[in-house]
Amino acid sequence: MADTTGHPTEPGVASETDPSTRPSSWRHIGPGIVVAATGVGAGDLVATLIAGSSFGYTLLWAAIVGCLVKISLAEAAGRWHLSTGRTLFDGWASLGRWTTWFFAVYAVVWGFVYGAAAMSSSALPLQALFPDVMDLKWWAVACGLSGLVFVWFNRYAVFEKVMTVLVGVMFLVTVYLAIRVTPNLPDAFAGLLPVLPDEKDSVLNTLGLIGGVGGTITLAAYGYWVNAKGWTDTGWMKVMRLDNRVAYATTGIFVVAMLFVGAELLHSANVALASGDKGLIQLGDILEGEYGSATATFFLVGFFATSYTSLIGVWHGVSLMFADFVARLRPGTEAARGEEVASGARERSWPFRAYLLWLTFPPIVLLFQDQPFRLVIVYGVLGAAFLPFLAGTLLWLLNSARTPRAWRNGPLSNTMLVLAGLLFLVLCVKQIWDQPWSEFF
């Protein structure tokens, strides 16, 4: 994203003429690819497909607005890490103990339920590709264990390279499908106009599409991946901003491509997809009927890449955040520094590996039995509350003396973060309202 601080560079802060300032270059790109791959899961693609099948190209503008909102959030998280030299959790801790309690409960409950969901999502395309090898649950276990082993024994540099390859697969598949269905370009350009569908709950459906474009807690993990890449000071600010723009341009391509598929392949034929990951399996069957088994197989490979990047991305990124959370709680620890993340010490720490185990083994139990009803409701509420929490705390941190004056929010960044906070607050309230609370008690 462009410079949203609205401030000129001050003395003592790296500037474009400072030799410590790195020129933005494509060869530095990395954390953005990781956050794009992790943030776009199978659920995001299904939501976009359903939007395309229900409303055609009408909500194309909303998908693009969603990318702009997430650019602002990720840029703010990265700017905090680089401008202060401190991690995001250290910033949260400075706002009061309530942030610590929120993150602790969120990490435990969210990780437990998400682990099972991520493993199941990755297993679905594998079972469709190899139906006679083993049951879906065992594919899910295999995906979880492989993710554990991969993240446990590899550091960020290898992790980033693998994610880049998988993103390449996702890119090829989604763009190929968008071209294959022959999009109606005049209608697509008309979809850039901010028009709401003439249907019941169209406002909430539109807000849901905007809010669902790529990423939840992975937006907060972006700053940690920035540090893990070795970017720890303001000299990397221009590089980070280019990297962040690439991340959400990539996300935008994925989302727009799948909206094209929904609009052309499903909307015109009045086909309704099932919600959730199984909707993508249904799409694979439709693609096979329309274009043959080769296209369906190619799509399932892309489906696996989409799901598995989300799995290993969370396994790495949220474990990195949890390790920082535990380090900050140790007696005598005054501040968590980005240099510690850059050194790789967090990836070798016992809290990092303990959270990896938490994401993998307890959720396996959920694969073999019904998910605990009350826990799933709490998971839904916490997940909905995280992005308003992130937007609100970033507004607080980046407008206070905790951030060097030259890197505090400008009008544009404040506007985008306020809009993001309001958007996610509305979606949070709706999510809480929609929960079956009468059955909870």
DSSP structural state of residue 223 = H
Average pLDDT over residues 78-102: 94
Residue 213's region, left for phi above 0, alpha for psi from -120 to 50, else beta, is beta
Name the average pLDDT for the chain: 86
> Please, which residues bridge with residue 1 across strands?
none
Q: What would the mean pLDDT of 175-190 be, rounded to a whole number?
A: 90
When pLDDT is cut at 50, 70 and 90, the band that residue 200 belongs to is low
In this prediction, residue 334 carries a pLDDT of: 61
Q: Could you give the 3-state DSSP secondary structure of residue 30?
A: coil
34 DSSP assignment? H
Instruction: Give 391's contacts (C-beta < 8 A, 6+ positions apart).
Output: 73, 417, 418, 420, 421, 424
Confidence band for 234, pLDDT divided at 50, 70 and 90: very high
Q: Regarding predicted confidence, which is higher, 436 or 340?
A: 340
Answer whether 52's CB lies under 8 Å from 261's CB. yes
Mean per-residue pLDDT, 373-385: 79
Within 13 A of 303's CA, how many CA atoms are on the CB side? 28
Helix (H) / strand (E) containing 255: helix 237-261
Question: What's the average model confidence in pLDDT over 8-12?
Answer: 38
Q: How confident is the model at residue 16 (pLDDT cuts 50, 70, 90)?
A: very low
d(Cα 254, Cα 261) in Å, to the nearest integer? Answer: 11
Instruction: Name the one residue in this structure whose structure tokens are 């840029």.
Output: 75
Q: What single-letter amino acid sits at 332? A: G
Question: Which range among 3-12, 291-300, 430-439 shows the weakest confidence by mean pLDDT?
Answer: 3-12
pLDDT at 15 over 70: no
Q: Is residue 367 within 8 Å of 116, Cβ to Cβ?
A: yes
Cα–Cα distance, 118 to 114 (Å, whole number): 6
Query: If pLDDT is split at 50, 70 and 90, which confidence band does 314 have?
Result: very high
Q: What is the pLDDT of residues 34-77, one digit of tens each?
A: 998 898 887 778 888 888 888 889 989 988 888 888 889 999 99
Q: What is the 3-state secondary structure (H, E, C) of 121-156?
A: HHHHHHHHHCCCCCCHHHHHHHHHHHHHHHHHHCCH
Name the token pair of 79.
Answer: 């700017």
Q: How many CB atoms lie within 10 A of CB 286?
A: 17
- The backbone region for 271, taken as left when phi is positive above 0, alpha when psi lies in -120 to 50, beta otherwise, is beta
What is the Cα–Cα distance from 222 to 213, expressed in whole angstroms?
Answer: 16
Question: Is pLDDT of 3 > 70?
Answer: no
pLDDT band, very low/low/confident/very high, at 439 (cuts 50, 70, 90): confident
CA atoms lying within 13 Å on the CB side of residue 341: 36
346: tokens are: 């967090």
Question: Poorest-confidence range of 146-155, 158-167, 215-224, 368-377?
Answer: 368-377
Burial class from Cβ neighbours inside 10 Å (0-12, 13-18, 19+) for residue 220 reads buried
Task: For 387-403, write each residue's pLDDT tens digit.
Answer: 999 999 999 999 999 99
Neighbours of 90 (CB within 10 A): 23
Q: Tell me: pLDDT of 331 over 70.
A: no
* Lowest-confidence region among 68-77, 147-156, 313-322: 68-77
